[in-house]
Amino acid sequence: MKHILIVDDNKANLASARVVLCDTYKITAVTMGSQALKFLENNTCDLILLDINMPEMDGFEVMEKIKANERCSAIPIIFLTADNDAETENRCLEAGALDFIAKPFVASVMRSRISRILELEDMRRKLADKLEQKIKEVTDIKSKSQQDALTGLWNRAYTEMSVNELIENGTVGALFMIDMDNFKAINDNYGHIEGDNTLKMFADTMRHFSKDGDVLCRIGGDEFVMFVSGVTSKAEIGNLAGDIISDLCYKIEQKKFETNSSVSIGIAQIPGDGGDFSTAYNAADKALYYVKQNGKNSYHFFSEQRENEKTRAGNLVDLEYLREVMSRADSGKGAYQLELDSFHHVYNFIRRFVERSGREVQTVLFTVVTDDNTVVESEETEIALEMMEQAIYTSLRRVDVSTRYSSKQIIVILMDANKENGALVAQRIIDCFNRLYKGKKVSFEYGIAQMDRNERFVPVQ
């Protein structure tokens, strides 16, 4: 049942209106504007019949106060007036009333006008609800188009737009490029479902360490971007990056992946390293590359890298000095042992060398095997891999190259070796491993193939 509030200082008019309407509507009747306002503080109604001429506060003043209250401003109002001239009618409508009813009341007219106004109000509310629902649906569709489907983070396009708007409005901060080291090994060894769960875990960790005003993004694959707003202190930014790395590495460790996976972060400060998203993104990407080339599982500021480059630019060197500096990290013994990312570039460089020179180069793949297919603890496998890497290092020449592909395989490149020599070298490595390894559960088998001048490095499955 609809609820009507009647405000009229004439008690006879109130009684008359109540008799006309009480069979159809719930009625609340008051004699003063202040009483109506008091009622509306804690109650609401579907329509107000408001007398114009009242002591203390006339109907127009009461209506102004009702409209000023956001909670009840939408309640439709019909004025009650003994003045039925055009000027009064115009003033009522200008004040915001939907209609007016002349006194003395004509019962059928009153019921008809009230019924029409309430019907129109129901239609207005339904249309407003539909419009609100449509707006919500469009907003949801737009939001989903701007989000990464897997993690719920923003996509690259939205992030670029959002960060540029923040920068244009004077927001300072830092842009993190966050990348998981050896993520492909998780997909390969444990399946894409586990890989997707790991990416969701990344997103949840970023949310945990973010605040209002930050922008979180998944660029694609295992690459994420985090715009940290309002921070300028390198110490604070570095502590945040360190906390993210520690938390993610702990969660990866809890999953007991045997993939040697970790987290690397490149950092660009805004506006120092870039006055827009694209410039800051490229700076953070270069800083991330530095981390990847220097051990991974850490963070690096682009500004520090740039300072180092400026320092070197101010100190011109000759070739002899350059040769001496570049060779300081070379121990002068054994095979080069590289991370897989670096090995990828070296492999393709050697392939180009083979293509031009026609020299013979062998690729050897060593794979962990266990006695009787028994399950071996990861610690034991790791010890065996370390012994194998030592055997490879001591058994090969300085021109040969190796890398650990996964927790179960090691790749070796043998320069200037045919298949027969390659097999002899591979067996020599295994013999050396057998002398170094004191365990009984793990051994290695190998496969060997000649590098084709047209092939490119594709990690083995």
User: Which residues are the active-site residues?
Assistant: 222
3-state SS, one letter per residue, for the chain = CCEEEEECCCHHHHHHHHHHHCCCCEEEEECCHHHHHHHHHHCCCCEEEEECCCCCCCHHHHHHHHHHCCCCCCCCEEEEECCCCHHHHHHHHHHCCCEEEECCCCHHHHHHHHHHHHHHHHHHHHHHHHHHHHHHHHHHHHHHHCECCCCCCECHHHHHHHHHHHHHCCCCEEEEEEEEECHHHHHHHHCHHHHHHHHHHHHHHHHHCCCCCCEEEEEECCEEEEEEECCCCHHHHHHHHHHHHHHHHHHHHHCCCCCCCEEEEEEEEECCCCCCHHHHHHHHHHHHHHHHHCCCCCEEEHHHHHHHHHHHHCCCCCHHHHHHHHCCCCCCCCCEEECHHHHHHHHHHHHHHHHHHCCCEEEEEEEEEEHHHCCCCHHHHHHHHHHHHHHHHHHCCCCCEEEECCCCEEEEEEECCCHHHHHHHHHHHHHHHHHHCCCCCEEEEEEEEECCCCCCCCCCC
Centre a 10 Å sphere on the Cβ of residue 243 and count the other Cβ atoms it contains.
Answer: 13
Backbone angles phi, psi at 149, to 5 degrees: -65, -35
Q: Longest C-alpha distance within the chain, in Å?
A: 118
Compute the distance between CA of residue 172 and CA of residue 252 in angstroms, rounded to an integer. 32
Among candidate residues 91, 59, 90, the one with its CA nearest the CA of residue 77: 59
Beta bridge pairs of residue 180? 263
Tell the residue number behind the tokens 């590098």, with chain if given: 451
Tell the residue number behind the tokens 């005003």, with chain if given: 213
Compute the distance between CA of residue 399 and CA of residue 414 in angstroms, rounded to an integer. 8
Cα radius of gyration rounded to whole Å, the chain: 39
